[in-house]
């Protein structure tokens, strides 16, 4: 099955700086990679996703890049704000018929004013 | 659209009792629902996948006789934690997708905090 690794586990950035989180996956047939933001005690919220036929996707201050050859994808947050502080999870979707997601371990992002 | 609810939002029970958690898709029909467990400061771990009208598929290491899943309709799935013990205390989150596999987003419920005394 799919195995997703995520780094770093914690990330502290100054407000206004950029944050980058990296994930690698093992199943070369995986074709969908979402990113979630989870605040303490809340549900994960989809913030951006990318499919395997695309190399990069951007939505305002958030962007995701995908390198299929190297089997890694990254989340980029520019001009960080205190409200960006949360735990971020990457995930990969397996190609089995159920569409299961395999989550990375998570990155605690702290944006300091 | 695509709202998923869970009930209860939190529950405290005594060791040895059973607890039922409901997951509902409020404005769409969910062919597939997923149940996750999340321990403090850890990631979401998939427990099982359920499809309406069929038996759930459990992940390796998840006891199907302890975590009973029923997906009786296209809008409701239930997870029953039987004979709960303190180590079952966790945050249980469900998600739902409109169809099986394919290009469908999973919509997450708000989670249920279970505390077993």
- A59-74 pLDDT, tens per residue? 999 999 999 999 999 9
Mean pLDDT within B35-60: 93
**Confidence (pLDDT) at B88:** 97
**Confidence (pLDDT) at A41:** 92
Using pLDDT thresholds of 50, 70 and 90, give the confidence band for residue A77.
very high
**Confidence (pLDDT) at A21:** 98
For A55-99, strand residue ranges (E) read 56-59, 62-67, 72-77, 86-93
User: Per the CB < 8 Å rule, is B44 touching A89?
Assistant: yes
Using pLDDT thresholds of 50, 70 and 90, give the confidence band for residue B102.
low
Residue B117: both structure tokens together: 């005394």
Alpha-carbon distances of B15 from B7, B20, B107, B114, rounded to whole Å: 20, 14, 31, 12
How close, in Å, is residue A33 to chain B by CA atoms? 11
Asked if A54 has any chain B CB less than 8 Å from its own CB, the reply is no
Identify the weakest region by mean pLDDT among A53-67, B77-91, B100-114: B100-114
Mean of pLDDT over chain A = 94
Residue of B nearest to A44 (CA): B108
Higher per-residue pLDDT: B100 or A38: A38
User: Per the CB < 8 Å rule, is B49 touching A101?
Assistant: no
What is the distance between the alpha carbons of residues B9 and B5, in angstroms, rounded to a whole number? Answer: 9
Mean pLDDT within A10-24: 98
Residue B72: both structure tokens together: 């009786």
Asked if the model's pLDDT at residue A29 lies above 90, the reply is no
Q: Which of A94, A104, A83 is nearest to A36 (CA)?
A: A104
DSSP state for residue B60 in the 8-state scheme: T
Using pLDDT thresholds of 50, 70 and 90, give the confidence band for residue B56.
very high
Asked if the model's pLDDT at residue B100 lies above 90, the reply is no
What is the distance between the alpha carbons of residues B30 and B2, in angstroms, rounded to a whole number? Answer: 10
Residue B101: both structure tokens together: 């596999």
CB A1, CB A101: distance < 8 Å: no
A17: Cα separation from own chain's centroid: 18
User: Per the CB < 8 Å rule, is A101 touching B113?
Assistant: no
**Confidence (pLDDT) at B98:** 84
How close, in Å, is residue A103 to chain B by CA atoms? 6
Residue A98: both structure tokens together: 């159920």
**Confidence (pLDDT) at B101:** 56
H or E element at residue B19: strand B19-25
Alpha-carbon distances of B36 from A43, A110, B91, rounded to whole Å: 11, 25, 8
Residue A21: both structure tokens together: 């989180």
Mean pLDDT within B49-64: 90
- Which residue of B31, B43, B108 to mutate against A (max A Cβ within 10 Å)? B43
């Amino acid at each position: 099955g799919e195995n997703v690794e995520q780094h770093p586990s914690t990330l502290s950035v100054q407000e206004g700086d950029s944050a980058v989180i990296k994930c690698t996956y093992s199943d070369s047939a995986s074709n969908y990679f979402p990113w979630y933001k989870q605040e303490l005690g809340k549900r994960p919220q989809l913030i951006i996703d990318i499919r395997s036929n695309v190399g990069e996707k951007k939505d305002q201050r958030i962007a995701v890049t995908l390198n299929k050859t190297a089997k890694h994808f990254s989340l980029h947050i520019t001009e960080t704000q205190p409200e960006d502080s949360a735990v971020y999870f990457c995930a990969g979707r397996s190609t089995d018929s159920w569409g299961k997601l395999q989550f990375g371990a998570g990155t605690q992002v702290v944006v300091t004013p | 659209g695509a709202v998923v609810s869970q009930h209860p939002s939190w529950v405290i029970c005594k060791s040895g009792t059973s607890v039922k958690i409901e997951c509902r898709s409020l404005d769409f029909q969910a062919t597939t629902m997923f149940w996750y467990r999340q321990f403090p400061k850890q990631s979401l771990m998939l427990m099982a996948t359920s499809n309406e009208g069929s038996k759930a598929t459990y992940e390796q290491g998840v006891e199907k006789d302890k975590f009973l899943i029923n997906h009786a309709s296209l809008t409701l799935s239930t997870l029953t934690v039987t004979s709960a013990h303190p180590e079952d205390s966790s945050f249980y989150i469900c998600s739902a997708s409109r169809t099986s596999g394919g290009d469908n987003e999973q919509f997450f419920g708000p989670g249920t905090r279970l505390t077993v005394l």
